Chains A and B, each alone.
Chain A
């Protein structure tokens, strides 16, 4: 068994900041997709969000599966589920509550998004950049994997309250590598 190492203050802080930023990203993405009626700042009602267009445009080996999802009659339920999952993962990461589960949920979502559109390097005028295999979804997934591996809930967040109530075991701010 490897010996536990103690993370320095800056190391802990940057991990928690990373978790908060990723959490914010998820939470806001989910919040705006929830079926809550809203208006833009310029004063126009926002149309309801749907994953159908993204799924129907899926490429890669799993494309037929995603196309089937995009055309499913229950796409509305799937949209709500995605929005709730995004929001829940975001809240979990931001507050450090059930952090490991939140990381798992975020990883699953990012993996799905990545597999639905694996970047092939072809320039797309509608895209914000040009990517070959590695895109922002994959990079963010890697960041979430780091958060998962370092169990950042034990550094800061509401998980600490739960950890405190447990019998003495792994000490706080110690990570077994």
Chain B
């Protein structure tokens, strides 16, 4: 075919003229500006750290949302257990790695779910973000504030999603309480919050090394016990403040709409001084703006109080109990208890309130006396909702509940609470 430049030019003009005669291009332009269904399949996921919490995350993957491609853990026994979780949930097997960098290089994954020991959060999350992966990191955000800030900077620099896994944010009961009780002002002015997480036990795991000659020293753990019980050593952990308090402080920050300004605290290693470093009893007072105070206590010598968050307002009291129940008491002698019912089947919460009985500040006695409790005893699958929302955020850009800013705020408060215990001083946050 031999065309002169003039013919070529004429042909181009004819083509453009023909297109100009139809509004098709304009329609396609409009269509491009609008957003319809967003193309894309399931989000390709890799997991780093498949210990107990990692496996809980793994078991919460909805196969309509996520596709688990690879698992990474330095302990082969954990990988084997994770395989069982995949099989139990009828998910296909995933490839195994001990080195997370190798996993990122070899696997075509888009996002990483990570639940390694706390001290590794920052380095692993930054590495994944720098590799262009979205990250859902188990709480607490990082071992120190500097690590949190590195994570946030890496997410911003690479324009990737960084979500910190606080399940309460995705618990329909908490969402219902926030929307229906807190935001509506039902409690009046809240000046005091009580946060408790009481247990009776050493927190010590009794795991066995995967093989008699297993040596985790290459990853920074001098013995297998340090790896298995990393939560008990300051090098890897921030103790009860990170593993328990940060959940509740994060929720209190959400419900109070602010973050603590200062903390003073006490505590120590009183009951289990052998073979561990972190405190087994901590008591912390967090000062929020506006004269509001949150008291947190965590003890490992008595489980009677169990765990809960109580919001004391001028018009009522809200108790978030065991992540399973929400109780509302109107203030005054004639107050009523009102239950919030949760529908765990859907992502949205249904708040149904109903009068049940006279107020009684002794929750256990009141619940026992009520016979039919006002709330379900089923723990909503918040981790599953979190996983779904993480995948949705990657594909469709839907908002997430706990990004860097919120997670840094709660992490900073908890890290400095430990500082307050150690220095026996009031620490500004």
Q: Does B398 contact A (CB under 8 A)?
A: yes
Q: Does B19 contact A (CB under 8 A)?
A: yes
Taking CB atoms, residues of chain B closer than 8 Å to A38 are 37-40
Q: Contact at A37–B39, with CB atoms within 8 Å?
A: yes
Nearest CB on A from B8, distance (A) = 14
Question: When A43-B396, A161-B14 are in contact, do A20 and B22 touch as well, CB less than 8 Å?
Answer: yes
Nearest CB on A from B64, distance (A) = 5
> Which residues in chain B, 17-68, are within 8 Å of chain A measured between CB atoms?
18-19, 21-24, 27-28, 31, 35-42, 64-65
Main secondary structure of the interface of A (DSSP, over half): mixed
For the complex, what is the distance from the CA of A41 to the CA of B42, rounded to whole Å? 15
Taking CB atoms, residues of chain A closer than 8 Å to B396 are 39-43
For the complex, what is the distance from the CA of A46 to the CA of B42, rounded to whole Å? 11
Nearest CB on B from A60, distance (A) = 32
For the complex, what is the distance from the CA of A16 to the CA of B389, rounded to whole Å? 44
Q: Contact at B37–A23, with CB atoms within 8 Å?
A: no
Taking CB atoms, residues of chain A closer than 8 Å to B389 are 43
> Which one, A61-69, A72-80, A151-159, is touching chain B?
A151-159
Question: When A16-B21, A160-B18 are in contact, do A24 and B27 touch as well, CB less than 8 Å?
Answer: yes
Q: Contact at A157–B22, with CB atoms within 8 Å?
A: yes
Q: Does B395 contact A (CB under 8 A)?
A: yes
Q: Contact at A160–B23, with CB atoms within 8 Å?
A: no
Taking CB atoms, residues of chain B closer than 8 Å to A102 are none
Query: How many B residues are at the interface, by size bracket?
Result: 20 to 34
Question: When A44-B392, A45-B42, A161-B15 are in contact, do A32 and B37 touch as well, CB less than 8 Å?
Answer: yes
Q: Does A95 contact B (CB under 8 A)?
A: yes
> Which residues in chain B, 79-118, are within 8 Å of chain A measured between CB atoms?
none
For the complex, what is the distance from the CA of A44 to the CA of B391, rounded to whole Å? 9
Query: A-side interface residues toward B, CB under 8 Å?
Result: 16-17, 19-20, 23-24, 28, 32, 36-46, 94-96, 155-158, 160-161, 164
Q: Contact at A39–B38, with CB atoms within 8 Å?
A: yes
Q: Contact at A39–B22, with CB atoms within 8 Å?
A: no
Q: Contact at B38–A94, with CB atoms within 8 Å?
A: no
For the complex, what is the distance from the CA of A157 to the CA of B23, rounded to whole Å? 9
Q: Contact at B27–A20, with CB atoms within 8 Å?
A: yes
Closest chain B residue to A12, Cβ basis: B21
Q: Contact at B18–A37, with CB atoms within 8 Å?
A: no
Question: When A37-B41, A38-B37 are in contact, do A45 and B18 touch as well, CB less than 8 Å?
Answer: no
Closest chain A residue to B35, Cβ basis: A41
19 chain-A/chain-B pairs, Cβ below 8 angstroms: A20-B22, A23-B24, A28-B36, A32-B37, A37-B42, A38-B37, A38-B38, A38-B39, A39-B38, A39-B40, A40-B396, A41-B35, A45-B65, A94-B27, A94-B28, A156-B21, A157-B21, A160-B21, A161-B15
